[in-house]
């Protein structure tokens, strides 16, 4: 039965790919017959078949929702050394640092669960980054490194129609470095030394690329992360290779390709008991915990500008990846909690998983009414995704003995989605109203190989959305949006019983934004009504739709550059979050675990003649670590409040050399300037105890471009 299903899936893949290729070929046949060479590579078409554009800063100005774009320059100034540490300056985002190296980020958006960033929709250049967009949204491989990123676009509302599923917390798009117009080579080395650490963490990056001809460009990148964080048992080795090409087929056609190989190997120090933490927070009591991840990813995008309406673009994108990830951890099969770091492990557990994912997505964008009283921007799209997941769990006694296999699961997913939206511009585009709807049809076939148990789970959902933006002045825009979001049942939730429903939420925002040159201000009221979170029910040994949470609050963000003192730049953001459990029972009304009510971040940059100085930081108020809101810490460190913490960073940047052919820049940073002592509660494979956060560290960063 399994092989027959696999054969059918392969046929579906082949037919859909052939169909997409045929459509593109028919449309472009007359142009491909005689392509004209390009004489100006800077005038290649800009893709507009996306509600978030290309994530440039100018895309934010009139966007109808809360949105933040972090540029490479901003990330550098705040002394961020990884993608998750960069995101801590964004209102509404909270990070649990598991490794100190950024290899396995745990990111929460507006109080949603942080573990493996499973409730955040991550994209890379608009392509899903997650292991499986439907059946396994957790980022237990995170195939991205900061050195390869040009900017990070965090869209908290208004993008659910086009980018789904799993967009309850919004969309985070990682934009890789573009191919430069002229050939350029970049060499960067970032050396980080942790106080208390044994081996520095070295991050080496090499990029070279440009236009070989007037019509063809290529860029090659290599990023190598090696060393340790501040903890024992934290050796890390990451290799990330990327190749990007751009081929201008004609004046109206473009073909973009991307391929990546990502390989990560890291030891995991794990949590500590309260007593061990107080004795030495840098030590490790989890000697068997480690992680490996390998992923080969690719995508191909065809873009065709058509002579229809005022402006029309067709975009056909295919993408896929083959990934393996492996966790190993100590397991106590005797008395006490299996993950108590104060107890010796009796067994070693592993969770090897394999993922094969393929997708194809044609999109059409059409603009009508240019110069008239009413304009329309239509976006129509469809997508097919196939996921093939092997999900295994093994347990082996340390003293010797037979290996058990408690889980040996397989999940095949065929997911079809269609979406349509129309941005209607009224009063010379002063008012823009965008209704839209997304349809999801997900067919999941679960096979418990160990129990010879098989089941099918079918999910169909209509997901409507509406955004409205009104330009009060050239600088001020007000917005409101509402959208329904979906998270399909995960493989860990199905467990052979089937018929589990989707996790569904309604998101609402009301806000306003001011933009004038380098000065900006944004205020947003938000509400997430999450009525259908799946939670484990011990009495029936199933997942049921009983979880209900309400997330609401206000986000403020501002950037001020005085006209009289342009060398000074001040940034400030604040998030107030009220995240409550709404399920009936004794915990109703309690604060959601790990959610901080108050978050504050800031930065101040002053550019002297040859030196740029930035002082930045962030603050998070205290949080509970369980649904019962236990205040007193227990003996194992599994429960109790997580104290508030405030972290300051200092960065000094200077250009050492610059001419028409190249430049050399140096940055010196001190992270956690005042050596704040703070921690999280246990995370994922080490869920009991205090998980130490990084102490003070020093970074030397050299970047040479020529």
Residue 4 forms part of a structural domain: no
CA gap 546, 187 in Å, rounded: 52
Hey, what are 109's tokens? 């958006």
Other Cβ atoms within 10 Å of 180 Cβ, number: 18
Q: Is the Cβ–Cβ distance between 577 and 596 less than 8 Å?
A: yes
Indicate the average pLDDT of the chain.
90
Helix (H, G, I), strand (E, B) or coil at 570: strand
Pick from 228, 201, 239: nearest CA to 701: 201
**Cα end-to-end distance, the chain, whole Å:** 57
Residue 494 forms part of a structural domain: yes
CA gap 339, 629 in Å, rounded: 21
Residue 16 forms part of a structural domain: no
CA gap 149, 407 in Å, rounded: 37
Spatial neighbors of 294 by CB under 8 A, at least 6 apart, are 141, 262, 263, 264, 323, 324, 325
Report the CATH number at residue 467. 2.40.170.20
Other Cβ atoms within 10 Å of 21 Cβ, number: 14
Calculate the dihedral angle through the C-alpha atoms of 687, 391, 502, 538, rounding to the nearest 10 degrees: -50
> CA quadruple 47, 49, 53, 54: dihedral positive or negative?
negative
DSSP element (H, E) containing 12: helix 2-32
Helix (H, G, I), strand (E, B) or coil at 173: strand
Q: Percent of the chain, pLDDT > 70?
A: 90
- Residue tagged 């208390």 (tokens): 196
Q: Percent of the chain, pLDDT > 90?
A: 79
Pick from 488, 492, 491: nearest CA to 501: 488
Other Cβ atoms within 10 Å of 271 Cβ, number: 30
Q: Over 80: is that where the pLDDT of 45 sits? A: no
Q: Is the Cβ–Cβ distance between 366 and 308 less than 8 Å?
A: yes
Burial of residue 373 (CB within 10 Å: 0-12, 13-18, 19+) is exposed
Q: How confident is the model at residue 536 (pLDDT cuts 50, 70, 90)?
A: low
Task: Look up the pTM and report it.
Answer: 0.91
Range of the domain at 95: 57-705
Q: Is the Cβ–Cβ distance between 295 and 268 less than 8 Å?
A: no
Instruction: Give tens-digit pLDDT for 322-364.
Output: 999 999 999 999 889 999 999 999 999 999 999 999 999 999 9
Return the pLDDT at 38.
40
Q: How confident is the model at residue 16 (pLDDT cuts 50, 70, 90)?
A: very low
Q: Is the Cβ–Cβ distance between 282 and 692 less than 8 Å?
A: yes
Residue 20 forms part of a structural domain: no
Domain count, the chain: 1
Strands 598-607 and 216-227: unpaired
Average pLDDT on 30-37 reads 35
Residue 219 forms part of a structural domain: yes
Hey, what are 565's tokens? 């003192």
Residue 48 forms part of a structural domain: no
CA gap 53, 146 in Å, rounded: 21
Residue 34 forms part of a structural domain: no
Residue 50 forms part of a structural domain: no
């Amino acid at each position: 039965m399994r092989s027959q299903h696999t054969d059918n899936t392969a046929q579906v893949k082949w037919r859909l790919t052939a169909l997409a290729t045929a459509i593109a070929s028919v449309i472009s046949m007359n142009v491909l017959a005689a392509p004209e060479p390009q004489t100006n590579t800077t005038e290649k078409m800009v893709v507009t078949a996306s509600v978030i554009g290309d994530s440039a800063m100018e895309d934010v100005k009139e966007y109808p929702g809360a949105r933040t774009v972090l540029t490479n320059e901003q990330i550098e100034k705040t002394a961020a050394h990884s993608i998750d540490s960069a995101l801590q300056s964004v209102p509404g985002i909270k990070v649990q640092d598991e490794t100190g190296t950024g290899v396995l980020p745990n990111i929460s958006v507006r109080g949603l669960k942080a573990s493996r960033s499973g409730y955040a929709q991550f994209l890379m250049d608009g392509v899903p980054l997650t292991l499986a967009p439907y059946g396994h949204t957790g980022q237990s491989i995170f195939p991205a490194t900061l050195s390869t990123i040009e900017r990070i676009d965090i869209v908290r509302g208004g993008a659910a129609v086009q980018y789904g599923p799993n967009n309850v917390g919004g969309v985070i798009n990682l934009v890789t470095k573009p191919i430069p117009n002229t050939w350029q080579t970049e060499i960067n080395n970032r050396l980080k030394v942790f106080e208390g650490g044994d081996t520095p963490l070295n991050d080496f990056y090499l990029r070279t690329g440009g236009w070989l001809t007037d019509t063809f460009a290529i860029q090659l990148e290599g990023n190598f992360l090696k060393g340790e964080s501040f903890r024992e048992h934290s050796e890390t080795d990451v290799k990330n290779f990327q190749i990007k090409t751009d081929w201008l087929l004609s004046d109206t056609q473009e073909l973009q390709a991307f391929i990546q190989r990502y390989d990560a190997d890291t030891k995991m120090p794990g949590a500590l008991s309260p007593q061990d933490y107080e004795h030495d927070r840098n030590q490790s009591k989890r000697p068997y915990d480690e992680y490996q991840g390998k992923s080969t990813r690719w995508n191909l995008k065809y873009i065709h500008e058509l002579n229809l309406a005022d402006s029309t673009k067709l975009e056909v994108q295919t993408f896929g990846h083959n990934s393996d990830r492996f966790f190993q951890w100590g397991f106590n099969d005797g008395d006490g909690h299996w993950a108590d770091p104060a107890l010796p492990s009796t067994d070693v557990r592993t969770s090897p998983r394999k993922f094969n994912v393929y997708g194809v997505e044609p999109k059409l964008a059409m603009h009508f009414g240019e110069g008239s009283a009413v304009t329309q921007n239509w976006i129509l799209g469809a997508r097919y995704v196939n996921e093939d997941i092997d999900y295994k769990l093994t347990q082996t006694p340390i003293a010797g003995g037979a290996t058990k296999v408690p889980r040996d699961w397989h999940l095949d997913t065929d997911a079809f989605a269609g979406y349509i939206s129309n941005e209607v511009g009224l009063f010379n585009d002063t008012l823009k109203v965008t209704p839209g709807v997304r349809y999801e049809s997900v067919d999941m076939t679960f096979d418990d190989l160990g129990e010879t148990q098989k089941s099918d789970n079918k999910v169909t959902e209509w997901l409507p959305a509406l955004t409205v933006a009104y330009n009060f002045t050239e600088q001020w825009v007000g917005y409101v949006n509402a959208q329904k979001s979906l998270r399909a049942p995960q493989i860990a939730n199905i467990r052979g019983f089937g018929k589990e429903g989707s996790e569904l939420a309604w998101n609402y925002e009301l806000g306003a934004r001011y933009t004038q040159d380098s000065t900006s201000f944004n205020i947003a009221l938000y509400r997430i009504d999450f009525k259908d979170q799946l939670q484990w029910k011990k009495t029936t040994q199933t997942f049921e739709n009983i979880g209900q949470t309400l997330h609401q609050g206000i986000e403020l963000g501002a950037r001020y550059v005085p006209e009289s003192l342009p060398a000074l730049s001040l940034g400030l953001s604040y998030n107030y979050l009220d995240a409550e459990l709404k399920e009936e029972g004794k915990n109703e009304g309690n604060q959601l675990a790990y959610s901080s009510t108050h978050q504050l971040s800031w930065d101040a940059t002053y550019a002297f003649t040859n030196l740029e100085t930035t002082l930045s930081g962030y603050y998070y108020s205290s949080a509970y670590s369980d649904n019962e809101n236990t205040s007193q810490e227990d003996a194992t460190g599994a429960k109790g409040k997580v104290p508030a913490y405030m972290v300051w960073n200092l960065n000094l940047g200077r250009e050492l050399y610059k001419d028409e052919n190249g430049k050399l820049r140096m940055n010196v940073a001190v992270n956690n300037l005042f050596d704040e002592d703070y921690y999280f509660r246990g995370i994922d494979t080490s869920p009991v105890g205090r998980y130490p956060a990084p102490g003070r560290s020093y970074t030397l960063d050299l970047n040479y471009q020529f």
